[in-house]
A and B are shown apart, each in its own frame.
Chain A
C-alpha cells in the first residue's frame, strides 16, 4: 500500500482575538497540533473526535481547503502544501469533500442540475450542453436520484436527497479521494443508513479512497478499516478498526466508546444474535 494523501507534523493555529472594532490579540489556539497521518490508497479511514478536536480542520488541510501554519501536506508523495493555480485545480479534481449540511453548501437559487454541473464549468470540462446534461443525469442516477431531479431546487428536496446531491457534486470530476465531514449527523437514522450505504457502494464502484469524519464511533465501525482518534488538536490513537474496537489503548478512546448508546436488541436477545457478525458480512458480500 502506498500513501495517497498525507500530512506531516501539521500545525494549525488561529489567533485568539477579542472585540470587533478594537481587535485585540490575546494569543493563539491550536486547532491541529503536531499531527502526522497517512491515508493509504483505497482504504477507508475514520477520523473521530468531539467538536473542537480539530478533525474538520485536519480534513480541510488534507485537501488544501485550509492552509496549515506549519507542516507538510502531500498528495501521491508530492509536497502540495502551497499549491496554487493550475496545480491546485488539478488537485481539486482528485480530492473532493462532502459536507455535513448540504443545505449550507448548495446555492438555494440554483437548480440541482446546475449545482452538479458547476464543477464542470469551473474546470472547463464537457463544454457541450447536451453531454453535460447527460453526465448530470448519470450522476443523479449514480447517487440514487432521478434525472428529473436536475430541475428541482434544493429546498424542494429532503435532507437525505440534498446530501445525495452533495455527493453527486463531489464525485462529478471523478476524484480519487473523498473526504466526508459528518455526512450523516444532520439526518434521521433511517436516512443515515441510506447515505452510508451509498458512500460504501460508490467507494467500491469508483475505487475511491474515503476519509470519514465523525463524532460517533458506531458509524465509523460500519464504514472504516482504520480509525484515527483526535482530541484537542492531537492524534491520540491510530489503529485498525479491528484493534481499536477490540482493545482500545487510550482512555479517551474508551470514553468515546462508552458514550455510544447500547441497543440491547441484538445482544443475545434473538437466537444467534451475538454471532451475527459472520452472517451479516457474508450476506452483504453475497448480495453485492
Chain B
C-alpha cells in the first residue's frame, strides 16, 4: 500500500484491558493504512479484536483499565495522544463510524432528522434551518425514498435497511475523510445488505473517503474492499490486496473462513467445512502460532514458534503469519479449492513434498 497517501495509518497498535481475571490483550501489534477513496476490509470472528482495533482508532476506548500503545495517525496527527477536546472535534467531522445495530445507536425518542441535524450542528456553525436543509440533502444522498417525510419519523418507524441508511447519513453529515463501518450489514437481509454495500461504495467514491469495513463475513468484503486484513486472536494473520487474497489465500485460517462461507458457486448440497473449535481466550493466548490448536496442518514446531506477519516472496503486498513453507501452502490450497477436505489436502501435500524431496 502506498503509505504516503494514507489518510488513516495505524502502527503497531496494542490494546489491553485490565480485567479481574488478568490482562486481556485484545489487539496485539496491528498495523494498517487506508488511502483516500480506498477500502480496507478487516475480517475476523467475534473476539478477534477487529472492533476494538477500530474503536480505539476512533478514540472510543480509553480509561484507567485500558493500556494502549502504538500510533493511530489521521492525516499525520496522532489520535492516541490527542486530548478529549481534540478528539471530539475530529470525531464526526474528520473520522466517523457506522455501527452494526442502528436501533441501539439511534435515540429511540428523537426523530431521525433531529438526530442528523444535531450531528451537522455539532461541527458547523449553522442555523437550524440550514441544518434541516442539510439533513434532507443527506437523507436524499443515501437514497432514502420520500426523505422529507422520513426526516420526521422515529427510528422504530423505519425498516432495518432505512435505519442503516439514516445512520450512514448521520456519519456523513460533515463529509468525513475516514469512515469506519463496523458490521454495517450483519443484521440485514441479503437483499438489503447488497443495497447498503452498493451505497457505501458509491459514497466512498463520490466523497473520496477512506473506508474501513469490519465484518466476520468474507463475502461482504469480496465485492467492496480493495485490501483485506484477516484478524485472529488480536493479530493480523494475513493481509493482501482483495483480488490477491481471494486468488491465492495463504493462511490456514483464511482457508477455513473461505470453506465455511456458504457460496452460490458451490455444488448444490455440498458440505460446508467448518473450522473446528473456538477462538482462544485472549487472557491466555496459545503459545507459538495462535491458530495452532485449530490448525489441521500444525507441526510440533508451530506450538512454540510465534510467526511474524511477513511478505511473500511472490509479492510483497501479500503478507502472512504462517510457519508452513510457501510451496506447501500453495499445494494445500490448490487441493482445498478443488474440494478436498483438510485431511485429504494434508495427505496429498505430504505425498507431494516427499516427491519433491526425492
Query: Residues of A with Cβ closer than 8 Å to B?
Result: 50-51, 158-160, 188-194, 196-197, 200, 215-219, 221-223, 225, 241-242, 245, 255-267, 269-281, 283-284, 287
Q: Which residue of A lies closest to B248 (CB)?
A: A269
Does residue B271 face the partner (Cβ distance < 8 Å to A)?
Answer: yes
Among candidates A192, A241, A269, residue contacting B262 with C-beta atoms closer than 8 Å: A192
Indicate the member of B247, B265, B275 with the most A CB atoms within 10 Å.
Answer: B265
Distance A282 CA – B87 CA, assembled complex (angstroms): 57
Q: Which of B5-13, B146-154, B252-260 contacts A (4 or more CB under 8 A)?
A: B252-260
A96 to chain B minimum Cβ distance, whole angstroms, is 23
Cβ-neighbour of B219 out of A188, A196, A257, A260 (below 8 A): A260
- Which residues of chain B are near A222, meaning CB under 8 Å? 262, 266, 269-272
> What are the residues of chain B within 8 A of A255 when measuring CB–CB?
191
Given contacts A256-B190, A281-B270, is CB(A221)–CB(B262) below 8 Å?
yes
Q: Which of A159, A188, A218, A242 has the most CB of B within 10 A?
A: A188
Given known pairs A276-B337, A280-B267, the reply for A263 and B272 (CB within 8 Å) is no
Q: Which of B194, B262, B275, B333 is within 8 Å of A258, CB to CB?
A: B194
Contacting residue for A218 out of B160, B259, B264, B337, CB 8 A:
B264
Find residues 294-345 in chain B having any chain A CB closer than 8 Å to their own CB. 333-334, 337-341, 343-344
B339 in contact with A280 (CB, 8 Å): yes
Report yes or no: A279 in contact with B263, Cβ–Cβ below 8 A: no
Q: Which residues of B contact A216 (CB under 8 A)?
A: 190, 262
A215:B189 contact, CB within 8 angstroms: yes
Does B220 touch A at the CB level, under 8 Å? yes
Contacts of A242 in B (CB 8 A): 268
Residue among A260, A274, A284 making CB contact with B270, cutoff 8 Å: A284
Query: Of the candidates B264, B337, B343, which one forms a contact with A260 in the assembled complex, judged by CB atoms under 8 Å apart?
Result: B264
- Chain A residues within 8 Å of B243, by CB: 264
Across the interface, do A277 and B271 meet the contact criterion of CB distance under 8 Å?
no
Q: Are B274 and A194 in contact (CB under 8 A)?
A: yes
Kindly list chain B residues whose C-beta atoms are within 8 Å of the C-beta of A159.
Answer: 46
A190 to B260, CA, bound (A): 6
B-to-A contact residues, CB < 8 Å: 45-46, 159-160, 189-194, 197, 216-220, 222-223, 243, 246-249, 256-275, 278, 333-334, 337-341, 343-344
Does A197 contact B271, Cβ atoms closer than 8 Å? yes
B219 touches A241 (CB 8 A): no
Given contacts A219-B262, A257-B264, A280-B339, contact A189 B269 (CB under 8 A): no
Instruction: Tell whether A279 pairs with B266 under 8 Å between CB atoms, given A190-B45, A217-B190.
Output: no
Q: Of B218, B246, B341, which one neighbours A283 at CB under 8 angstroms? A: B341
Task: Looking at the assembled complex, report how far the CB atom of B27 sits from the nearest CB atom of chain A, in whole angstroms.
Answer: 18
Instruction: Tell me whether B338 and A270 are in contact (CB under 8 A).
Output: yes
- Is the pair B265, A266 in contact by a Cβ cutoff of 8 Å? yes
B220: contacting residue among A261, A271, A284, CB under 8 A:
A261
Q: A218-B263, A269-B248, A270-B333 are in contact. Are A188 and B274 (CB under 8 A)?
A: no
A265 touches B258 (CB 8 A): yes
**Which residues from A are CB-within-8-Å of B262?**
192-193, 196, 216, 218-219, 221-222
Q: Is the CB of A188 within 8 A of B46?
A: yes
Asked if A259 contacts B274 (CB within 8 A), the reply is no
| A269 adjacent to B216 (CB under 8 Å) | no
A276 touches B338 (CB 8 A): yes
Q: 12 A-B residue contacts at CB 8 Å?
A: A159-B46, A188-B45, A192-B272, A193-B274, A222-B269, A260-B264, A261-B193, A262-B265, A264-B243, A277-B266, A279-B340, A281-B269
Cross-chain contact B222 with A264 (CB below 8 angstroms) = yes
Set of chain A residues within 8 Å of B257, measured between Cβ atoms: 189-190
B193 CB contacts on chain A under 8 angstroms = 259, 261
**In the assembly, what is the distance between CA of A176 and CA of B264, in Å?**
29
Most buried by A among B46, B222, B257, B269: B269
With CB as the reference atom, state the residue of chain A lying closest to B333: A270
Task: Name 16 extra pairs, CB < 8 A, besides A259-B190, A272-B334.
Answer: A190-B274, A193-B259, A193-B274, A221-B264, A261-B193, A261-B194, A261-B217, A266-B266, A270-B334, A276-B339, A277-B267, A277-B339, A280-B339, A281-B271, A283-B344, A287-B341
Given known A221-B266, A269-B248, contact A284–B258 (CB-CB < 8 A)? no
Asked if B247 and A269 sit within 8 Å, CB to CB, the answer is yes
Tell me the smallest distance from the CB of B199 to a CB of chain A, in Å. 14
Does the CB pair A280–B265 fall under 8 Å?
A: no
Q: What is the bound-complex CA distance between A271 and B249, given in angstroms?
A: 14
Partner of A275, one of B189, B268, B338: B338
Neighbour of A197 across the interface among B247, B272, B338, CB < 8 A: B272
In the complex, chain A residues whose CB is within 8 Å of the CB of B275: 190, 193-194
Q: Are A189 and B216 in contact (CB under 8 A)?
A: yes
**Complex CA distance for A197 and B259, rounded to whole angstroms:** 12
Contacts of B269 in A (CB 8 A): 221-223, 225, 241, 281
A269 to B257 alpha-carbon distance, docked (Å): 17
Closest to B267 in A: A277
Beta-carbon contact of A267 and B265 below 8 Å: yes
Check A196–B272 contact: CB distance below 8 A: yes
Cβ B272 vs Cβ A193 within 8 A: yes
Q: CA–CA, A194 to B272, complex, Å? A: 8
Is A264 a contact of B246 with CB atoms below 8 Å?
Answer: yes
Bound together, the chains give a CA A265 to CA B334 distance in angstroms of 11
Could you tell me the distance between the alpha carbons of A260 and B219 in the complex, rounded to whole angstroms?
8
